[in-house]
Amino acid sequence: MNLFETTNIGPLTLPGHLIRSAVAEGLAGKNGEPLPQLAAHYRQLTQNQTAAIICGPISVTGINRTQPLLSLHSVKQLDCYRQLTDEVHDANGTILAQLSYPSECQENPGEAGWRLLRSLERSYSHSAAKAKEANFDGIQLDFTCYSLPGCFLSLLYNQRRDEYGGDIHARIRFPRDILRAVRRAVGPDYPIWVSLESDVNRISVQDLLMTGQYLASAGAGAIEVCGSFPPHPPQQFDDSLLPQIHPAEMLSRIVPVPVILTAGIKTVMEMQLIAQRSKIRFFGLSKQLEEDPGFIYRMIR
């Protein structure tokens, strides 16, 4: 597999298989708008052969925090986001908006009442429509445990005893409702990806696989799985460089949509080994590109 050849994820044509995973850069203004430095950073990533950029996390509500946080909930923010997407598109790049509702400063699953859940569905729908209006090429829904909907997936955080708690079939309900509401807001053809977490201390491998299947059937166009290789993998391989199998590799075998693996992998050889033993064809990079925006360009050279 050539990681640097033109490929597709749904309707999006990408110049390669390496994607910038969502990172909180801290380049947000007081009203949640992206600062000009962020647009310049994304242009640099695009010029250095990043196949697509996932911008985020972008809060779907206006949240007061001591640290700068992007948010997209008002028409007043649209011009700043259009300038951001224009900068990437002028460099012939692709950019998606990761929509999130940070769990660290909000209610946990046990405290989230019915009214809040319905309100959040509307907030996600509203922000998704605004992201499309701001000319993002697609959106990604953050369903890791850094976002409240993702906390619903974890037995560690979700100990509810109603229709949103219990087995994974119930715990998936709220994230799936958000995905369906967002799909209604942006139409049938607009790309919607989701981001899941592979931390086995927060969500079991079996629950992760079931979640991926549910979300793919509900309309997710790609699934990113974030997290390091598990310390105690359920299966061993003889590969000298990567003796463990990642849950994302298992997921890639059972879902009909592309799986993006974001696990701190740094070499082409490691990526090719994973591609040989699974159906993973896309890899997310985060810290590598923040430390060195030319990381992918140097890999090609």
pLDDT in tens, 141-154: 999 988 999 999 99
User: What's the token pair of residue 196?
Assistant: 């899941």
- Per-residue CA distances from 89 to 43, 94, 136, 191, 292 (Å): 9, 7, 9, 17, 21
CB 59 within 8 A of CB 70: yes
User: Residues 6 or more apart from 181 whose CB is under 8 A from it?
Assistant: 121, 122, 124, 125
Quote the CA–CA distance of 190 and 54 in Å, as a whole number.
Answer: 15
Q: What are the tens digits of pLDDT across the range 99-152?
A: 999 876 445 677 778 888 999 999 999 999 999 999 999 999 999 988 999 999
Residue 235 has pLDDT above 60, yes or no: no
CA dihedral for 117, 104, 204, 52, sign (positive or negative): positive
Looking at residue 240, its pLDDT comes to 47
Burial label, 75 (beta-carbon count in 10 A; 0-12, 13-18, 19+): exposed
Looking at residue 192, its pLDDT comes to 98
Q: What are the tens digits of pLDDT across the range 50-65?
A: 999 999 899 998 765 5
Looking at residue 268, its pLDDT comes to 87
Size (the chain), residues: 301
Q: pLDDT grade, residue 217 (50/70/90)?
A: very high
Looking at residue 236, its pLDDT comes to 47
Residue 241 has pLDDT above 50, yes or no: no
Percent of the chain with pLDDT strictly greater than 90: 68
Per DSSP, 28 falls in state: B
- What are residue 14's phi and psi, to 5 degrees? -120, 145
Residue 234 has pLDDT above 50, yes or no: no
Per DSSP, 199 falls in state: -
Q: What are the tens digits of pLDDT across the range 7-44?
A: 999 999 999 999 999 998 889 998 899 999 999 999 99
Mean pLDDT in residue range 243-267 = 91
Using DSSP, state whether 282 is helix, strand or coil. strand
Looking at residue 244, its pLDDT comes to 73
Looking at residue 230, its pLDDT comes to 64
- What are residue 193's phi and psi, to 5 degrees? -105, 165
On the CB side of 247, how many CA atoms lie within 13 Å of its CA? 24
Quote the CA–CA distance of 224 and 2 in Å, as a whole number.
Answer: 20
Looking at residue 102, its pLDDT comes to 82
Give the per-residue SS3 of 184-225. Answer: HHHCCCCCEEEEEECCCCCCCHHHHHHHHHHHHHCCCCEEEE
Q: What are the beta bridge partners of residue 98?
A: 140
- Give this prediction's pTM: 0.92
CB 56 within 8 A of CB 25: no
Region class of 56: left (phi > 0), else alpha (psi between -120 and 50), else beta: left
Q: How many CB atoms lie within 10 A of CB 30?
A: 7
Residue 246 has pLDDT above 50, yes or no: yes
CB 234 within 8 A of CB 255: no
Q: What is the mean pLDDT of the chain?
A: 89
Mean pLDDT in residue range 229-249 = 61
Q: What are the beta bridge partners of residue 117?
A: none
